[in-house]
Amino acid sequence: MSIHIGAKPGDIAETVFIAGDPLRAKYMANKYLSDVSCYNEVRGMYGYTGNYQGKRISVQGTGMGIPSTAIYVNELIREYQVKTLVRIGSCGSLQPHIKLYDLVVGMSASTDSSINKLQFNGMDFAACADFGLLHKAYTFAEQQKFPVKVGHILSTDVFYDEDPEAWKLWSRYGVLAVEMESNCLYTLAAKYGIQALSLLTVSDSLVTKEAISSEEREKSFDQMMQTALSLLG
């Protein structure tokens, strides 16, 4: 038992998919896994373990933002010996060519969060994905003809920014999309020597101001989940 995850040792698989929304974790577990058991309900942050084509896998909600995600990622790695973490999330496009429903694979994750500077005594750590997972995910998504894009992402601490144009700085530097979690996932994976990757579906665009509805959101996540499942084994 850790502080925020009420699972016993061995309840959680070595590979865990993490989603900001615990109901997405539930949706994924019920849709894709067999022999599913729920190992966590603490704070409504559901976690499930089951099988996919004979492989054991867990799916865990993390909540939104770096602080909440960092709590679950720390506990999964330190208390439950998790070795591979794949985020399945949503993001907002920062580029005209990144469209709604596109699958964005986060190669690196910049941040405006002070967590990076706190950890590295005022210096910056370049948080990046595991290349093996990235290569595998990209190859699978290309084969499936999913609209996949690989590149830089931004993990912001601020959803409702004081300056509504603040995203344009990151856009000018070629950052594809914004979300709120991957930077800490990649940094913690580096710290503990495990593998991590973020797969993101574009749910809105800061460029065009379009957004997909919450029902459409659920359906459009399937291409991302299939890509995540292709990483098993």
Q: Is 223 in the site for ligand HPA (CB under 6 A)?
A: no
Interface pick for ligand HPA out of 178, 184, 224, 229 (rule CB under 6 A): 178
C-beta of 63 vs 92, nearer to ligand HPA: 92
- Segment holding 84, helix H or strand E: strand 84-93
Contact flag: residue 141 with ligand HPA (CB under 6 A):
no
Instruction: Find the Cα–Cα–Cα–Cα dihedral 222, 13, 125, 224, rounded to 10°.
Output: -10
Q: Which of 69, 59, 56 is nearest to 28 (CA)?
A: 59
110 in contact with ligand HPA (CB under 6 A)? no
Quick one: which of 156, 195, 198, 220 contacts ligand HPA (CB under 6 A)?
156
- Give the integer Cα–Cα distance in Å for 67 and 135: 28
Of 22-30, 107-115, 175-183, 221-229, the window that binds ligand HPA (rule: CB under 6 A) is: 175-183
Determine, following the binding rule CB under 6 A, whether residue 204 of this chain makes contact with ligand HPA: yes
Rounded-to-integer distance, Cα 25 and Cα 42, Å: 14
Active site residue 21: no
Nearer to ligand HPA, 42 or 150 (CB): 150
> Radius of gyration (Cα) for the chain, nearest Å?
17
Selected from 13, 71, 77, 180, the binder of ligand HPA by CB under 6 A is 180
What does the alpha-carbon distance between residue 46 and residue 60 come to, in Å, rounded to a whole number? 6
For residue 153, state whether it binds ligand HPA (rule: CB under 6 A): no
Cα-Cα-Cα-Cα dihedral sign, residues 173, 224, 160, 157: negative
**Count of residues touching ligand HPA (by CB under 6 A):** 11
Candidates 11, 112, 204, 222; catalytic one: 204
Check binding of 181 to ligand HPA (CB under 6 A). Answer: no
CB-neighbour burial class of residue 185 (10 A; exposed 0-12, middle 13-18, buried 19+): buried
* Interface contacts to ligand HPA, rule CB under 6 A: 90-92, 156, 159, 178-180, 203-204, 206
Catalytic residues: 204
